[in-house]
Chains A and B, each alone.
Chain A
């Protein structure tokens, strides 16, 4: 039997790893560099679970009171 996964928890929003291409588009859209994104540490349980490495970018889809679904992006950093 598989161990408990944080991804299945109700309170944990959906995290999706972006491809290099998607990252490029994202950075172009907001005219920013990776460093301007909010951060997430590699030690974060979700990062461990989906095996995200420093330098990756995650798309986070959260439930929102005002907008239904809200998109956010986080840069994975060492830690």
Chain B
């Protein structure tokens, strides 16, 4: 009879590493499956520092952070499958059968539970509307990062960056340090989408201009891009005529956001949350499908890798503990002022004393107040001096003494103004 793992973790980035380590430490037999030839996920190409301040109390570079976890993994009995691609997952009476492809051919890994830790992907030019030809020279910030930091190759001499997401800001600095000219960063919204500190240390430190309420309207070039047109937009995101400007450059780099990678989740009919675009999950990180857990950026774009690891550590422990015990769910309703949060639902039969809530505000707010209402009654309030959508917040909630039952209505809202 073939072997059945207690937990199979799909994805060997920081989320998968933390999930595998914690599942092992909780006594589970663990398989970790990664399609690339080495572990670390996207951190391998994030050579800048700023990772691990919360988890390790130190400012680490991405690969350094990954290596810490790879060392922790070596102390466990986790079986690691590298250069192994998951093609499909099927339900079975024992749990799940994962179809894989690697250099030994096609086979399968059987497991009782799965942690999905497949990370996120970048939005591409298909998701932003730009007119003109389709020359080469239009790529995402992550692709540029891969070129420079993993291959040691420069993809541009002079570029324009569209979107003010953090990866774009980080790459503006990186490309400038390597001798390229970054003509400017263009953001269609009136506020930047990246962290304020990145606007300062990546753009302003290097005199790279940030143009808000401005977008790229056209691209030109035969084989290779040679010109882009930018223009300002009004409050309705309509181009303001007469503000068009032509910029000569050899690349347009897109940094227009990240979305959770849900390919496998969708084949399993895992419910997807509208706000996070990742799986619906309860406080143990279990999705709507029993035995399937989700963690890291596959669940919710966390940005901060420390939070990725924390969520994955819980997901791994939950998967190891999984007994198929009955659960009863209530959804947490998203009220005004909130962009997204996890968990999106609560298992009221499970532990409710230490629920970790991660949330983002829908807009910039000063003196903001997070309010938790149960059946219309305010149960909890938490004040924040200011909140920005790019900065995810973490809060530990004790919900065990509110008498939650299957008919309870739980509502989260953010309000502005307190004294």
A binds B: no
Chain B interface residues (CB < 8 Å from chain A): none
Chain A interface residues (CB < 8 Å from chain B): none
